[in-house]
Chains A and B, each alone.
Chain A
Amino acid sequence: MTPAEVGPRAGVLDEALEHAALAVTWRARPGLLGWISSVDHKSIGKRYIATAFVFLLLGGIEAGLMRMQLSRPENSLLGPDLYNQIFTMHGTTMMFLFAVPVMTAIGIYLVPLMVGTRNIAFPRLAALSYWTYLIGGLLLYTAFFLNSAPDAGWFSYVPLSGPEFSPGKRVDVWAQTVTFTEIAGLAAAVCIIVTILKHRAPGMSLARMPLFVWAQLVVSMMIIFAMPSVATGSIYLAMDRLVDTHFFNPAEGGDPLLWQHLFWFFGHPEVYIIFLPAMGMVSAVIATFARRPVFGYPIVVLATIGTGFIGFGVWVHHMFATPVPQLGQSFFTGTSMLITIFTAAQIFCWIATLWMGRPVWKTPLLFLVGFVVTFVIGGMTGVMIAAIPFDLQAHDTYFIVAHLHYVLIGGAVMPLFAAFYYWFPKVIGRLLSETAGRWHFWLFTIGVNLTFFPMHFLGLEGMTRRVYTYLAETGWGDLNLLATLGAVTIVISMLIFVANVLGSAARGEIAGGDPWLGETLEWAMTSPPPAYNFAHIPIVASRSPMWSEGPDMPGASGLRSDIREVLVTTVLDAEPDARHDDPEPTIAPFLVSLAVGVMFITAIFTPWGIPIGTALLLITLTVWFYPRREQTEQVIVTRSAA
């Protein structure tokens, strides 16, 4: 069916009236129950981001405690058992409860705005994702405060984490936390992919998608193929511990290396699952502050897709110290070096963008420069440890700790801060303080380098990871003290950041709809956006719709304002194809998450958790899918496949 062309305002309500009607239709329900029932991608995204940042602060406190303990030889601030718990909590929190979820969360918030639709696809599934994630995080921290936190490291290698060497429930808590976060990640990935493929604004063909949206698409596909691996592994581990299976027990034919394969087949793509959305943020921020579209759009898109593929072919470089066949190891050295080409291509495109643009040196752009410098250092050490002979020496030393923090802080946290300063005005409606932002940037960048640069030398001198103390004779005291002073600098920078966020949210300068003169559609509306995002869906004719259109953008009308309705478009060219009703607020996703919670948490103690949880799950899914309201009026069915 071809939609009819109409003249301006023909056959539609007056725009103000339509906004008013939509505001009623899309409004959130009041009270706590209303908050729990929300299916608005912006509410879900905001609580997801806020929760992830709380976990960032908790993980940061754990890091600070470790640095305090290691600041001088034979320190007795933390005992070995508590230290084991704290480094496991730090890694697990940062990877599973902060880094991946925050990238997903920003996708949940921004992708629908950027592609020009009223809500995310499957908003109830997005809500389920959040609640499941929250339950996983609460499980981990409840166990921590009960002195039952996991203590076998963030990748929980067997046999240490198996029933023989880790009796008790600590590792079970870890395994179930991981399962929760993987369910959450997978659910969100499906929502984001379908939003991108089927809900783009008319005219936004794949070739016109914002680079941030491309990054989210590739990452969500990676999540779909990577996360089942660690979920399978964590279920095997839980079963080995609970019902005496022998997946990883060599005495009965199982294999500890199977765990490492399952973990790293997820674990290395996970690095790119964290890194690629950050690259999308870089592209978005750099275009706005360089005042020109990103140089080499096709190169950046292809590099993103290429990283997505090659990211699945490098996992064995985490296992060079295991008896993997040498030819196989060489293959993984090759792929590990190959993948740097894609990242380098993107970095050159961004430098060219800045070079050819008119840079505006606001805080977001400062963080991007910090990103390039810090990340390149991490990338260089990455090339070093991709070489097997070097890796065998550096394996499990502080050299690796230095490398991974340079890559993850440089490659993900700094772009994330850039994104935070950039999109905070859109989400909250007020600008963050620029002065505080500069203090935050300089102290954070100096602190990161002061903390992690000395660790390269500590590693080369033989200091291994995960030791709770060391002797004075090792001579590692001074560099460790320097690293701790760096950590103190990071803490000060984060205090400034938190104060800036809280202060600016209350009293910051009013942002208006488009404070940065941005390139993409999220800047077309008020800040914060209305519940329905767009009254009329914009029609897109270029990659930079906000720059190529005048103050009066062309759009599509005819979506209903009396029920929640979204536009469905075709996958490749985004031609208008159908209308789809969007779910009303519902408590069902929360209930299903609780059922999943009961299932996995009870299963830590008894196998009966599985049948009990399954029964609860089926009951709550019935609540979810039971049709409550007939919306048969104006239903138009078409059976044609074209």
Chain B
Amino acid sequence: MRSIRPVLDVSRLPTVVFGHRNATWWGTIGFMLIEGTTLALVAASYLYVRKNYQAWPPERTPFPDLLIPTIQLVVMLVSCVPAYLAKRSALRLDRSSTALWLWVSAAFGLAILVLRWFELQALNTRWDSHAYGSVAWSVLGFHGTLLVLDVFDTIGLAYLMSTGRASARHYPATTDNTDYWMFIMAAWVPLYILVFLSPRWI
């Protein structure tokens, strides 16, 4: 066993840091990579099955509706604003403002989850009708799972921030949550194009 002789004192280093300085941020990036890969594979499966069909959607299956999904897309993109404001408030260590914008984000999140339910109806097919139905539902389903977890996380953080149970470490947790939120919403843009617009083109 070696004796380790102290020549450096790290006791004055910060205990709460943000962004890439924070180990948790790297963990969040790791999960974004995992989930981004999963969504890319689900999208690839959609296109892989497409080649088996002459018509897409298959005959006697209407195109997916555009109204609700497009409203959903707009709501998702707008939801990035309160998410960003929550991050900005957290960076200022402003507890009440962080709590406020987290609650606004959570409200957006719940609205997005309700809209996701109607989006499934807007596909105009069932998951068990044919492979087209299966892959279309799977895109919304896999992405929806991530939405549920992120909305849950946002509600939890909002509760902790507004009840005073949060510690200083929940500020970087909030900024990481915002980054993840942006990732989920950004990931939806190509998936929306794939599921709702591309059948009209390909």
Contacts and interface: CB of A to CB of B under 8 A. Distances in A.
Contacts of A228: 34-35, 37-38, 41
A245 B49 contact: no
Contacts of B137: 245
Contacts of A632: 167-168
Interface in A525-567: 525-526, 534-539, 546, 549, 551-560, 567
In this complex, which of A243, A512, A558 has the most chain B Cβ atoms within 10 angstroms of its Cβ? Answer: A558
A267 interface: no
Given A236-B45, A253-B53, A568-B21, A553 B4 contact: yes
A594 interface: no
Given A627-B160, A635-B15, A194 B4 contact: no
Interface in A258-300: 258, 261-262, 265
A258 B49 contact: yes
A425 interface: no
A580 B10 CA distance: 12
A511 to B, nearest CB: 11
A575 to B, nearest CB: 10
Interface in A594-632: 614, 618, 621-622, 625, 627, 630-632
Nearest to B35: A228
Contacts of B168: 632, 635, 637
Contacts of A232: 38, 41-42, 45, 142
B20 A571 contact: yes
A190 interface: yes
Contacts of B16: 578, 635-638
Contacts of B42: 232
Contacts of A552: 2-5
B91 interface: yes
A122 B27 CA distance: 8
Interface in B13-50: 13-24, 26-27, 30-31, 33-35, 37-38, 41-42, 45, 48-49
A641 B23 CA distance: 13
Given A9-B6, A186-B34, A244-B128, A576 B27 contact: no
Contacts of B131: 246-247, 249, 252-255
B117 interface: no
A551 B2 contact: yes
A326 interface: no
A554 B9 contact: no
Contacts of A265: 41
Given A254-B49, A524-B4, A639-B91, A578 B12 contact: no
A584 to B, nearest CB: 14
Nearest to B17: A578
Interface in A164-205: 186, 189-190, 193-194, 197-199, 202
Contacts of A536: 4-6
B13 A239 contact: no
B74 interface: no
In this complex, which of B2, B42, B53 has the most chain A Cβ atoms within 10 angstroms of its Cβ? Answer: B2
Contacts of A193: 26, 30
A578 B7 contact: no
Interface in B163-178: 165-171
Nearest to B37: A228
Contacts of B27: 121-122, 125, 190, 194
Contacts of B52: 250, 253-255
Nearest to A250: B52
Contacts of A534: 4
Nearest to B130: A252
In this complex, which of B8, B16, B91 has the most chain A Cβ atoms within 10 angstroms of its Cβ? Answer: B8
A8 interface: yes
A554 B5 contact: yes
A199 B23 contact: yes
B132 interface: yes
Given A228-B37, A576-B10, A236 B138 contact: yes
A6 B10 CA distance: 10
B128 A246 contact: yes
Interface string B141-178: 01000001000100010001000011111110000000
Given A224-B33, A638-B16, A524 B152 contact: no
A225 B15 contact: no
Given A246-B131, A254-B131, A525-B1, A576 B8 contact: yes
A231 interface: yes
A630 B37 CA distance: 37
B96 interface: no
Contacts of A571: 20
Contact of B134 (A239, A513, A621): A239
A342 B195 CA distance: 41
Contacts of A231: 38
Interface string A13-46: 0010000000000000000000000000000000
A556 to B, nearest CB: 4
Given A614-B148, A635-B168, A258 B45 contact: yes
A133 B56 CA distance: 40
B15 A556 contact: no
Nearest to A231: B38
B26 A202 contact: no
A231 to B, nearest CB: 7
B118 interface: no
A144 B19 CA distance: 47
B78 interface: no
Contact of A637 (B58, B93, B135): B93
Given A202-B8, A243-B128, A636 B15 contact: yes
A193 B32 CA distance: 14
Contacts of A240: 134
B7 A255 contact: no
Nearest to B156: A625
Given A524-B2, A524-B4, A641 B18 contact: yes
A12 interface: yes
A7 B5 CA distance: 9
A17 to B, nearest CB: 14
Nearest to B56: A253
A553 B5 contact: yes
B21 A578 contact: yes
A10 B4 CA distance: 14
A577 interface: yes
Given A194-B26, A641-B21, 6 more contacts: A15-B3, A121-B27, A245-B128, A245-B134, A568-B21, A635-B167
20 contacts: A5-B8, A8-B6, A122-B24, A224-B33, A236-B45, A243-B128, A246-B130, A246-B134, A254-B134, A553-B3, A554-B5, A556-B9, A557-B10, A577-B21, A578-B13, A579-B11, A635-B168, A636-B15, A637-B93, A639-B92
Kindly list the 7 A-B residue pairs having the minimum CB-CB distance in the complex, ordered from nearest: A558-B11, A557-B6, A555-B4, A253-B131, A513-B1, A245-B134, A190-B30
Interface of A: 1, 3-12, 15, 121-122, 125, 186, 189-190, 193-194, 197-199, 202, 224-225, 227-229, 231-232, 236, 239-240, 243-247, 249-250, 252-255, 258, 261-262, 265, 512-514, 524-526, 534-539, 546, 549, 551-560, 567-568, 570-571, 576-581, 614, 618, 621-622, 625, 627, 630-632, 634-639, 641
